Structure 1
């Protein structure tokens, strides 16, 4: 199963629209994960229409309309891999241990909020993935998203994709 991970799209506050490369990757994915901070419901509608399967949560910048449509925490099993999705995980220091305690059933945690790409392993085997942001790089050199493959209970081929600068 081909997976796409994204978060912190912030449309239309940080960008008027999602990058074309990201939209093409969404359409090629079997499952799309979005870890919150959509900002507008139109972006949720767009991803829901273009995704074969969408697993998504709301973030701290999402208003009542998005919060009514999305959970704060989501769980999904894909090709034998157990995923949890949440927007915020707290400070970077101690993140792995905190998240391993909070999500003991998950094998992979997809999160956002910082706009900083993250790929680490917690004690006990929980993998933490933050795909960064496709629209707001903040202090990072590039806007980003991630892809991965899930097969037979294993996550593999995790890749961070750099998006070209907006013009």
Structure 2
């Protein structure tokens, strides 16, 4: 199963459309996961044109999105439990806030966003993954999103590109 992972798209504030490298991957994805800060319901609807979409709200999302999405999701895919959360809040680092959101639950992977910083780390059998931002790289050298392939294992990687065209 091929999953495209995105976060912090901030459309239309930071971009008017999805970048071509992301579109190419979404066209062949089995699932798209968005870890928050979409900004508007229109972004959710546009992503849905590419296939199945799941996601969570972030700290700058519209009230309309809050009526459609939760702030935290637990998704079961091919026997793996994947937690999805934006990761915003007070205290702790973004990754630690994301881990805290699923404290006491057995998850195989936690997908989060908020920082716009790509992150990929395995910790005692737990995959922690932040795709970065496909449209708002902030202080990062390149824009990014993630690909997760699920078969007998979960394999994640980042896709980097220099501009959001």
Structure-2 residue corresponding to 1:142: 142
Find the aligned partners of 1:63 and 1:48 in 2 and give their Cα distance: 17
TM-score of the pair, normalised by structure 2 = 0.90
Note if contact 2:98-2:112 (Cα within 8 Å) is conserved in structure 1.
Answer: no
2:64 pairs with 1:65 = yes
Distance 1:114-1:61 versus aligned 2 partners, 3 A rule: same
C-alpha change, 1:93 and 1:8, in structure 2 (3 Å) is closer
Quote the offset at 1:49 in angstroms.
Answer: 1.9
Root-mean-square deviation (CA, aligned residues, Å) is 2.1
> Cα offset for 1:105?
2.0
| Alpha-carbon distance in 1 for matches of 2:82, 2:3 | 12
Cα 1:49–1:93, aligned 2, differ >3 Å: closer, same or farther? closer
Shift of 1:50: 1.0
Residue ranges of structure 2 left out of the alignment (5+ in a row) = none
Structure 1 unaligned spans of 5+: none
Count of matched residue pairs: 163
**Structure 1: which 4+ aligned runs deviate by more than 4 Å?**
none
- Work out whether 1:21 is the aligned partner of 2:21: yes
> Are the equivalent residues in 1 in contact too, given 2:82–2:110 (CA < 8 A)?
yes
- Cα distance in 1 between the residues matched to 2:110 and 2:136: 21
TM-score scaled by length of structure 1: 0.89
8 Å CA contact retained: 2:99, 2:110: no
The whole-number CA distance in structure 1 between the counterparts of 2:66 and 2:101 is: 25
Aligned residue number for residue 38 of structure 1? 38
